[in-house]
A = this chain, B = another copy of it.
Amino acid sequence: MEEIDRQILGLLADDGRMSFTDLARETGLSVSAVHQRVRRLQKRGLVTGFTAQIDHELIGLPLTAFVSIKPIDPAAPDDAPDRLAGLAEIEACHSVAGDESYILKVRVASPNALEDLLQRIRAAANVATRTTVVLSTPWEGRRPLL
């Protein structure tokens, strides 16, 4: 991948709805050239999609937490992601190295909802949980080095 594709990725990470016309102006290419490059970036899988960024506080999910989980029976087959996929409050699921197996990022409406979710997580995946509550988020989703 080269310089101009990195530039396009950066521009689209900053503004996912930027028009091809504007992308062309910024990159110095023609509209059709940018268009083709963006399509190629999607086809190659470098761009997996576009999404609206939503303020979770304002839509009624003000409480974020990280939940680390550890199987109660270490001999049981590890299908935790499948078992947890149905819980919509879980925004992300990472398999990790270390004492615990997975780190989940969850969003809920209240402490009560968190307690309820933790019970559902333990029941669904037969795991112990360790929860770290987020107090504030100085920044999130910042674009890494391109």
Contacts and interface: CB of A to CB of B under 8 A. Distances in A.
Interface stretch (A29-37, A69-77, A85-93, A119-127): A85-93
A112 to B, nearest CB: 15
Interface in A22-67: 44-56, 58-61, 64, 66
Given A96-B134, A135-B96, A135-B97, A59 B1 contact: yes
Contacts of A133: 96-98
A143 to B, nearest CB: 8
Nearest to A99: B132
Contacts of A97: 132-135
Interface residues of A, number: 58
> How many copies of this chain sit in the oligomeric assembly?
2
Nearest to A90: B142
A51 B54 contact: no
Contacts of A51: 12-16, 50-51, 53, 141
B52 A13 contact: yes
Contacts of A89: 144-145
Interface of A: 1, 6, 9, 12-17, 44-56, 58-61, 64, 66, 81, 85, 88-98, 103, 107, 132-146
Nearest 7 A/B pairs, CB to CB? A16-B50, A12-B52, A81-B138, A92-B140, A16-B51, A17-B50, A97-B133
